[in-house]
Structure 1
Amino acid sequence: MSWRTPRSTADRQRTPRRFPGFLKAAGACALLAGLLSPLSTPAVAATGTSAVNDYCGGRCSDILPPGENGNATLVQILFNQAFGTQPAHAEDQLGPYANLATGYPALTADKINTFFNDASFGVPSDQIASTRRPAGRTDVTIVRDKRTGVPHITGTTRYGTEFGAGYAAAQDRLWLMDIFRHVGRGQLTSFAGGAAANQGLEQQFWRNAPYTEAELQAQIDRAVTTNGDRGRQALADADAYLAGINAYIDASDRGRYFPGEYVLTGHKNAITNSGTIAHFKITDLVALGSVVGALFGSGGGGEVNNALSLLAAQAKYGVEEGTEVWESFRERNDPEAVLTVHDGRSFPYATRPDDPRGTALPDPGSVTSEPLVHDRTGSAATSAATAASGAVAKAAVSSARRGMSNALVVSGEHTASGHPVAVFGPQTGYFAPQLLMLQEIQGPGISARGASFAGLSFYVELGRGQDYAWSATTSGQDIIDTYAVELCQDDYHYLYRGTCTAMEKVERKNAWKPTVADGTAAGSYTMRVWRTAYGPVEYRATVGGKKVAYTSLRSSFLHEADSIIGFQMLNDPGYVTGPASFQSAVRHINYTFNWFYADDRHTAYYNSGDNPVRAAGVDAEFPVWARPEYEWRGWDPAPNTADYTPPSAHPNSVDQDYYISWNNKQAEGYAAASWGNGPVHRGNLLDDRVKRLVAAGGVTRTSLVQAMAEAGVSDLRAEDVLPDLLRVVTDSPVTDPTAAAAASRLQSWVAAGARRTETSAGSGKYADADAIRILDAWWPLLVKAEFEPGLGSDLYSAFTADLPVDEAPSAGHGPTGAHAGSSFQYGWWSYVDKDIRAVLGEPVRGPLARTYCGGGSLTGCRDVLIGTLKEAAGRTASQVYPGDDQCSAGDQWCADSIVQRTLGGIKHRRIGWQNRPTYQQVVEFTGHR
């Protein structure tokens, strides 16, 4: 099986080898001078290693593409850009990961580690690639294995263990860590140049967490002082970790094997070795944490957009009926939604109040976004590049934030071995290097292997302990509210509990030097955020004629460091001994995650996050007045603390028959912050398959991996919606030959399983290519033709702003952007499903307020579908897949393909599409302490 797809000469010519934005600051002289830099760090002789208690019995596996090594010297970068060569262990997990998409049907137990790594503790003596005692320390050893280069860190002291973790992190991800500590501070362009991607990244993140240095430090101080011995231990661990990072910086500087990006961005001189790489400090970890929290752990928001679509619905239908229409599309608590906790229990949260109070809807046409960027200088070229930064950066950032994760966990009652089986992992996007890194840490009070975010790897964040494993998916429940603060005196003062109060102005000045490679001129700008007690200002509007600022208040704001305690507990074998202690640990994590657990006897689930207790009558879907009676209960604005819902009110479970999660609804009554939790959801692709496995019994690691992999290559629209669409189309003979042929192709594809798979591994061609092309072209056409006539253009546009109609793999216009892998999370599949079933006269629980397709008649709906199907069938592959900087027009497989988005100097090959977590574990423990 080969994962490499040959590219034609034309493809090679049209795909330029380019440096990403932050690598374009160096000229040809610097590039040539960099050749004098050595290729690698000095070799160290290998020595033995030993493993601690491991109760997995060889049945723990994991994978994290593209590879463990995310650092490269200048010469390695140049050779990669010129010839495609890869540094050792930079790409060696990409092939096995990619191959599962075509290899899963023939999977057997003995083949699992063909597609995954052996995730047992320790390294067999014949698999040791290197052994290092960092900085000459005698209390820690870093052993790397031959297959993947993953660091196995073993310490005899706690300090030494964490020192080794920091040293290994810098070995593998120093440049990436440096990038994101600057992103978290809104200073990426000053550090890495003014390219459009850099500007977009720092702008998108800094608005969410515009912290001062004092606030970053205060978060650490608070986390330490409020958590007793564990808080003090966390600070000691972080200090040791930082010492390890800085020791590697010093060693790589002396040995001239630091990442080559520092030369390319002008921070180091390859000939003289002048220049510096700044040491890391404790507040850098909080800045990094704020980026991770913004990406994956901050559910909610969007109340202003919700208000705009509600106003559009009321303008179309009147207040009463318009509200009913809006609620039917919102699907807050849809009775047909797939659930993670499906045992009949209800966990009410953020539900619709019977009598909403304090809602502050804007006057129509009055909403404007608060500008972030001011005082821009630079050439027209710079301004043009910056104008494009939204698309450039949002594609990368959204692919991580929206890509999300999945989990499949089956209790031992339904497995062949009698032990629980789990296949789970986070979807953090596809990057080069990857945001996550693999490691094993063994030391006093720490025993774990798994993945951690680069720069925050003093603990394993997702992985396994001695006799248990855990993972997470983004839950997205609403912990962000929008407040309408009344302005007084001018646009920069507001009423705070009856007193006219000045807003706080927080600014970040960025200036960058000229770049030679892409012609970008020098430039600068200031990012400015106005902060209130109710959070940063995001919009301005009028409400009933009064001028207001809409602010965003997040419960985790000023609390990015708090979650460190929960991760410390997960790594502590003395703390996690079963489901109860696992749930207790993840309760200390204030990010909005779904957490899953498996050991040899039990499974468990818990939904984490600081869910604020809202005032009675407040509807969390819309902006509310910034007045004491509508504030969060117990809210103290200075530390941003409040009363939070108790652990028992969070969806939780132990030993349910099975759990699935793909960012779907958690439980009955638990209102999701995102739109689209209806009867057709990406989670159904997992739930349907796992439910069948459980019903049959005898579930194995192999069968559960196959269920995940098959779901990962299935087209949700084709599997769950297309059959009913075709029932309408074929209700009577289709007389148009083009439409009839298209319907026949689609029916054959559905009968074959509705999957997007290659004809053979590495072919670069899809089986059922015509049917896939037709559906990709048809879906946006049919949705628009089905709903816009009834909703009207204004309301249809407002609803599509809340929820895009499509997120097919090739949909570059979708929320994740092109080549992002993750697909079918956001789309109008549930709306189409409910509407078409209503047209067919079938029962629909929680129906839309109206029937839309063809005005509600079967004949009219059929005409709409056949007309759009004929139009779609007539579109060529080049029209459906227009091509981009990666692919020629008409190349369907390439349009779907996954690209590792460059965050450094090394580029990797494209791989075929599969809808799958980035990091993934396959676990089945056979024993317990």
Structure 2
Amino acid sequence: MRLTLVAALTGALLAAAPGAATASAGRATALPATAPDYCAAQCRDILPAGENGNATLADILGNKVFGTRPAHTDDQLGPYSALASAYPGLTDSQLSSFFNDASFGVPAAQVASSTSPRSDVTIVRDKATGVPHITGTTRYGTEFGAGYAAAQDRLWVMDLFRHVGRGELSGFAGGAAANRQLEQSFWQAAPYTEAELQSQIDVLATSGDRAKQALADARAYLDGINQYISQAYNARTFPGEYDLTGHIDAITNAGSIQPFQLTDLVALASVIGALFGAGGGGELASAQVKEAAEARYGTVQGDQLWSSLREANDPEAVTTLHDGQSFPYALPPGDPQGVAMPDAGSVVPEQLVYNATGSATSAATKAAGVLPGNLLTAKHGMSNALVVSGKYTASGRPVAVFGPQTGYFAPQLLMLEELQGPGISARGAAFAGLSFYVELGRGQDYAWSATSAGQDITDTYAVPLCTPDGSPVTLAATSYLYHGVCTPFETLSRDDSWAPTTADSTAAGSYTLVMHRSNYGLVTARGTVGGKPVAFTSLRSSYRHEADSILGFQMFNDPGAVHDPTSFQQAAQNINYTFNWFYADSSHTAYYNSGNNPVRAAGVDPGLPVQADPAHEWQGFDPATNTARYTPASQHPQSVDQDYYVSWNNKQAADFGAAGFGNGSVHRANLLDARVKALVAAGGVTRSSLTKAMESAAVTDLRGEDLLPELLQVITSSPVTDPKQAAAVQQLQAWLQHGARRVETSAGSHTYADADAIRTLDAWWPLLAQGVFQPGLGAPLFSALTGALQINESPSGGQTGPSSGPTDANESIPHKGSSFQYGWWSYLDKDLRATLGTPVAGPLAQSFCGTESACRSTLLTTLAQAAAQTPAQVYPGDGDCSAGDQWCADSIIQRPLGGIADAKTTWQNRPTYQQVVEFPTHR
């Protein structure tokens, strides 16, 4: 039974009272020797809000009542936020004001603590950030220390996500609607039995010496976690969230924290892989756009329009590789084979929830949930990278500014660490619970980072349904045809139940989550194809292989394995998730795109559902192991020493097919590419100038920079006579001259410069999308296209279109920072240029805005509607902001994962964890 909030707070007072048990500081040891470091204090990084993610119940009470926070909870938030205002005058010497020193080791004067949970490992924490610097004399000790430090800093987050990965979050953290939504979405993406989690470990154990070492490292890591759990429980220094959720009694200390095991790490890996390392799977949405286009324009013209909207290989798309290389993959075939188009209106989602009782039968509760319910299903922004070859830098050495965008949470999903031991030498960030290796960071003389690539490794199959006894087949059939044999679906189920909790106002409830699995993947929907019942399945190449990438990360941390671009690319080849990997040392830069890219049958269109039969399976497909033939390493986009690289989850290379919609002429990566290209052309690039380029892009409105000039060109082709329209145009012109930036009038003012123009554009964009495109598309096609590609991703996440028109539910994700990854920017850009008579490569197959006169009329009409909206209409307010508060609507909030909340910070479109590196020498 969970505690009431009153009892929890009473326990907090008791725990904090004089005489209450306190944690031992650990045995002090001599400061370990510093590993070789070739960065010469020119490596820096930052990870807001702070390294410390552990708050006892007394800490949580202090935060709620007095606003206090434990040390190092939010000390990286201020420097991170301040760059948004300070970047224009940034110099190399000022980088230390906005980024931490990422050198190896800790100077004696900066040591805050030095402890040894075992005799063969020392954990030193620095005064500035509290980051653990872990040095082991044995490999086991090093990894034990990594686990111990991870539990010190992220135990509650680790526990949350091992339950998310099993579809058991509600039973662990309460039955809030968001908790249920989240566990359901992950259960749909990666349902496993406990035996299947263990099986992945067993397979890895037979995969060679590196794999055996990785499992030994993981076991040592778990031993460190579990020793910390035991010690913290006895000393009552464990996270207070265990008290607040009733797992431990705040007064008697009755209860427990379950030890971690290897299968927990696989469950954690499945969550991270589903969030950041998968791609494809949008084939049903694409098919629905195709069908709606054909219904509107006829088969030939409709298919042409669908193809142009899909932009699978748009010639105007910004690419990470621009040196003339081509890497053909997942391109639409000229004569598609095996396409399985669903009959219009026949598709219904597969039932997931069964036997719901209590609060599980209601979507509405007062509780917010411990994690966003749409963490997986919504389109969250990811990461970016800017890397410049030494040929174009002031020092003659490569410079890199890069990092992942994993969202903003308190505490973060990532944690910082330094690991030094036999065969391990690295500092950087890793996901909590998987930090036995640094996943993004630096080695002795090189640094690396990643962005989510999202190439198509997931296909949708239309699997014919059948009945074993030959009776009439309906959508409710529990068997399917596999190679001519009527085969029963496997049923994967997970029971979850939760007790009532007064603290978050949720009631008791329970349900069973069920997924059906075929040899062609997980059933996600049912419908008919040509009138015959089918199950639509999702087949992902990395499914049932969540642990395989461990080998690549191990190699990144091994100075004996990675020492140059070639060895770095070889390490990245061992990662089966879809990532773009970037590398820099003192002489070279490199790039490699990882992932198990299945080799499809000839003629299969990866953007549409496929017939489930032997002729259209992945080549070499073995459903027993979920393996297939994969494209060889030589066919993955890759490069060494290109003049510069930029990535913001954009298209990788020429002819590398886009998975889904949205890789066209205008993409947020254009903001980076334009700035870095200009720096390279001028030469003399420095760490600070590259950082300024990144931050300039981070505070710029993509719509303002890349589309507003065209909009104004059409509008001002004739005089604007209406006074209100003219005033709005003047404000937009002034904002454009100021760089179309969303920045404060002065640091901390909480008021935007050019506020009226920004508000007008925020209101205008969804009206533009509807006004320009809906008349030509028609309501059904407009709606279908919105389902394949959201129309907007604004900083505030609140502009979803007029109340009388279609809305875009995915847009409403406020306070997440990341913006402009998804939207109809390219469509409007190509259409406006066609109207203006400007050449367009890869144009839309239909004109929507029309003649310049007709287009101007539409733009002015929608502009007038936008300008008439009040601030409260544009920024309607939420639980964190008053209606009409523009700055607050945009502001970044570190979403609390536990009991500690952090202050709001000004908007910027930037990686969560970020490095700035330049190595002057090499070993």
| Normalised-by-shorter TM-score class | over 0.9
Deviation at 1:196, TM superposition (A): 1.4
* Whole-Å separation in 2 of the counterparts to 1:163 and 1:379: 41
Equivalent residue, structure 1, for 2:426:
448
Q: Secondary structure at the match of 2:832?
A: helix
| Matching residue of 2:595 | 609
The alpha-carbon deviation at position 198 of structure 1 amounts to: 1.2
Aligned residue identity for 1:70: G
User: Hey, what's the Cα distance between the residues in 1 that align with 2:527 and 2:330?
Assistant: 25
In the alignment, residue 484 of structure 1 is paired with which amino acid?
Answer: A
CA contact (8 A) 2:7 2:250 kept: no
Which residue matches 2:750?
764
Kindly indicate whether residue 819 of structure 2 is the aligned counterpart of residue 823 of structure 1: yes
Question: Within 1, Cα distance between the matches of 2:514 and 2:367?
Answer: 20
Aligned to 1:425: 403
Among 382, 385, 389, the alignment partner of 2:364 is 385
Give the match for residue 803 of structure 1: 789
Deviation, structure 1 residue 548: 0.2
In structure 2, what is the Cα distance between the partners aligned to 1:63 and 1:397? 25
| Residue 99 of structure 2: aligned partner | 116
Unaligned runs of 5+ in 1: 1-22
Deviation at 1:388, TM superposition (A): 10
Q: Which residue of 2 is the match for residue 622 of structure 1?
A: 608
User: What SS does structure 2 have at the residue aligned with 1:883?
Assistant: coil
Deviation of the 1:83 alpha carbon: 2.0
Residue 575 of structure 2 contacts residue 595 of structure 2 at CA under 8 Å; is this kept in 1?
A: yes
- How far, CA to CA, are the matches of 1:734 and 1:768 in structure 2? 21
1:792-832 deviations in whole A, cap 9, x for unaligned?
11101111111111111012354471100000000111111
- Alpha-carbon distance between aligned partners in 1 of 2:351 and 2:886, rounded to the nearest angstrom: 39
SS at match of 2:623: coil
Are the aligned partners of 1:422 and 1:598 in contact in 2 as well (CA < 8 Å)? Answer: yes
In 2, Cα distance between the equivalents of 1:494 and 1:637? Answer: 14
Counterpart in the other structure of 1:700: 686
* CA apart distance, 1:374: 1.2
Instruction: Answer whether contact 1:70 1:172 (CA < 8 A) is retained.
Output: yes
Q: Alignment partner of 1:403: what SS?
A: coil
CA distance in structure 2 between the partners assigned to 1:843 and 1:427 by the alignment: 35
1:49 touches 1:125 (CA, 8 Å); kept in 2?
no
Structure 1 residues 293 and 378, CA gap change in structure 2 (3 angstroms): same
Aligned to 1:280: 260
Alignment correspondent of 2:47: 64
Q: Aligned letter for 1:74?
A: L
Q: Given the alignment, which residue of 872, 877, 880 partners 2:871?
A: 877
CA distance in 2, matches of 1:592, 1:25: 43
1:509 and 1:668, CA in 2 relative to 1: closer, same or farther beyond 3 A?
A: same
Deviation at 1:392, TM superposition (A): 7.9
Give secondary structure in 2 for the equivalent of 1:363: coil
* Aligned structure 1 segments of 4 or more residues deviating by more than 6 angstroms: 386-392
- Structure 1 counterpart of 2:537, which letter? T
Contact 2:769 2:791 survives alignment (8 Å): yes
| Residue type of the alignment partner of 1:719 | E
* Equivalent pair of 1:398/1:815 in contact (CA under 8 Å): no
CA positional deviation for 1:278: 0.6
Letter of the 2:837 counterpart: G
Deviations 1:390-447 (A, max 9, x none): 9983444457x62210000000000000000000000000011100000000000000
Q: Which residue of 1 aligns with 2:347?
A: 367
- In the alignment, the residues of structure 2 paired with residue 272 and residue 392 of structure 1 have an alpha-carbon distance, to the nearest angstrom, of 29
Matched residue, 2:802: none
Q: Note the aligned Cα RMSD (angstroms).
A: 1.6
Amino acid at match of 1:113: S
Q: Does 1:158 align with 2:139?
A: yes
2:288 aligned with 1:308? yes
1:816 and 1:822 in contact (8 A); partners too: no
**SS of aligned partner of 1:164:** helix
**Which residue of the partner structure matches residue 801 of structure 2?**
none
Matched, 1:897 2:894: no
Residue 821 of structure 2 aligns to which amino acid in structure 1? Q
How many Å apart are 1:190 and its aligned residue?
1.1
Q: Does 1:661 align with 2:656?
A: no
> Using a 3 Å threshold, how does the CA distance of structure 1 residues 784 and 117 change in structure 2: closer, same or farther?
same
CA displacement at 1:674 relative to structure 2: 3.2
Q: Is the 8 A contact 1:49 1:124 kept in 2?
A: no
AA aligned opposite 1:909: A
Given candidates 222, 229, 232, the residue that maps to 1:242 is 222
Matched with 1:20 is: none
Equivalent residue, structure 2, for 1:86: 69
Counterpart residue type for residue 429 of structure 1: G
Which amino acid in structure 2 is aligned with residue 602 of structure 1?
Answer: H
Whether the 8 Å CA contact 1:49–1:123 is kept in 2: the answer is no
After superposition, the C-alpha distances for 1:361-393 in whole angstroms (9 at most, x for unaligned) are 01111000011111110059x614279989983
Distance in 2 between the 1:392 and 1:47 partners?
Answer: 41
Q: Is structure 2 residue 174 aligned with structure 1 residue 193?
A: yes
* Offset at residue 270 of structure 1 (A): 1.9
Find the counterpart in structure 1 of residue 805 from structure 2: none
Asked if 1:536 is matched to 2:530, the reply is no
State the partner residue of 2:250: 270
Which string of whole-angstrom CA distances, capped at 9 and with x for unpartnered residues, describes residues 118-163 of structure 1?
Answer: 00000010000000101xx111000000010000000000000000
> Contact 1:821–1:913 (CA<8 Å) still a contact in 2?
yes
Task: Select which of 836, 856, 868 maps to 1:862.
Answer: 856
Aligned pairs for 1:503-902 (under 5 A) are 503-812=489-798, 813-815=809-811, 817-853=813-849, 856-902=850-896
Q: Deviations over 1:462-516 (max 9, x none)?
A: 0000000000000000000001110001511000111000001111101110111
AA aligned opposite 1:196 = A
CA contact (8 A) 1:47 1:130 kept: no
**TM-score normalised according to structure 1 size:** 0.95
For residue 55 of structure 1, what is the amino acid of its counterpart? Y
SS in structure 2 at match of 1:178: helix
Question: What amino acid is the match of 1:345?
Answer: Q
Task: Please give the TM-score of this superposition, normalised by the length of structure 2.
Answer: 0.96
Instruction: Judge conservation of contact 1:450–1:460 (CA < 8 Å) in 2.
Output: yes
CA distance in 2, matches of 1:250, 1:237: 20
In structure 2, how many angstroms separate the alpha carbons of the residues matched to 1:731 and 1:689? 29
Shift of 1:905: 1.0
SS in 2 for 1:792: helix
Question: In 2 relative to 1, CA 650–909 (structure 1 residues): closer, same or farther, beyond 3 Å?
Answer: same
Partner of 1:10: none
| Alignment counterpart, residue 408 of structure 1, candidates 352, 361, 386 | 386
Distance change >3 Å, CA 310–CA 392, structure 1 → 2 = farther
Rate the CA distance shift 1:391–1:541 in 2: closer, same or farther, 3 A. Answer: farther
**SS of equivalent to 1:133:** strand
Q: 1:329 to 1:653 in 2, by over 3 A?
A: same
CA distance in 2, matches of 1:328, 1:925: 44
What do the CA deviations read for 1:233-276 (whole angstroms, capped 9, x no partner)?
Answer: 01110010000000000000111111111111111112221111
Distance 1:741 1:357 in 2: 55
1:906 aligns with: 900
The Cα shift of 1:331 comes to: 0.5
2:470 corresponds to: none
Q: CA deviation at 1:46?
A: 7.1
Q: Distance in 1 between matches of 2:529 and 2:917?
A: 54
Residue-pair matches, total:
900
3-state secondary structure, aligned to 2:709: helix
Q: Does the 8 Å contact 1:395/1:815 carry over to 2?
A: no
- Structure 2 counterpart of 1:476: 454
Q: Kindly provide the amino acid, as one letter, of the partner of residue 447 in structure 1.
A: S
1:192 touches 1:265 (CA, 8 Å); kept in 2? yes
Secondary structure of the equivalent of 1:835? helix
The equivalent of 1:258 in structure 2 is 238
- Post-superposition offset of 1:592: 0.2
| CA deviation string 1:831-886 (max 9, x = no partner) | 11000000001110000001110xx2110000000111111111111110010001
Map of 1:344 onto structure 2: 324
What is residue 221 of structure 1 aligned with on the other side? 202
CA distance in 2, matches of 1:541, 1:398: 22
Instruction: Name the CA distance, whole Å, in 2 between partners of 1:395 and 1:892.
Output: 24
Deviation at 1:201, TM superposition (A): 1.4
8 Å CA contact 2:347, 2:525 repeated in 1: yes
